[in-house]
Amino acid sequence: MSFGDPNNPYGQPQGQPQQQPGYGYPQQGQPQQPGYGYPAAPPPPAYGAGYPGGAPMTMPGLMQTARVLLFIIAGLQIIGGIIAAVAIAAAQDMSDSVGAGEATDGLAGLGYLVVLILLAFAGWAIFLGVRFSKGGNGIRVTTIVYAALFLLLSLGNLVGGEGQGSAVVGALIGFAIGGIILASMVTSSAGAWFNRPRY
């Protein structure tokens, strides 16, 4: 029985019998030794892993447009409220200096009430715009109510502003903005966005 070339460094060492199947290590080879140090980190999850159906939804374009319009409306209402409050205070000071302050107090109070309503609507629009990204169907319904009220007020301004060009133009712009917001809230993409699963 020959053991091969005794000078071959890769051959079986002399004096040791060759291992036969069934003796020593099994056919698969030697067991692997565990690595040193910390175990390897698992691979990072694929994009959208953990979300049923893949990646998380992105806000549809109509929702983004409605959100921006809500912020624009809020900004205009805040500016309008500040200007109206300053104008009311100036008119009240003027009437006080003339001596008719008591007669105009009720009118000034009504003006300040309108300013408060404007600022409340502005706060409502900001709240809705902020909640678009995480809000549910309640935010959608509240936005529909807001847009409907905005449309009614714009329609009232349109009817009441006959003969005044700037009032009619402002009412038409408000009517268009309210219509866009309302139309975007009743689409199927709005329903899918506000009813999406949240994790």
CA distance 199 to 196: 10
The answer, yes or no, to whether residue 161 has pLDDT greater than 80, is no
Within 8 A by CB and 6+ apart from 96, the residues are: none
Amino acid 49: pLDDT: 47
Better pLDDT: 121 or 15:
121
Average pLDDT score over residue span 68-81: 93
The pair of structure tokens assigned to 65 is: 């447009």
Q: At what angle are helices 61-98 and 137-160 packed, to 10 degrees?
A: 50
In percent, the amount of the chain with pLDDT more than 90 equals: 31
User: Which residue from 56, 36, 57 is spatially nearest to 46, judged by alpha carbons?
Assistant: 56
CA distance 147 to 155: 12
pLDDT tens per residue across span 95-139: 777 766 666 777 888 888 989 998 999 999 999 999 988 888 899
DSSP state of 2: -
User: Which residue from 146, 155, 102, 100 is spatially nearest to 124, judged by alpha carbons?
Assistant: 146
Amino acid 196: pLDDT: 84
Most confident of 1-10, 113-122, 189-198: 113-122
Average pLDDT score over residue span 6-28: 59
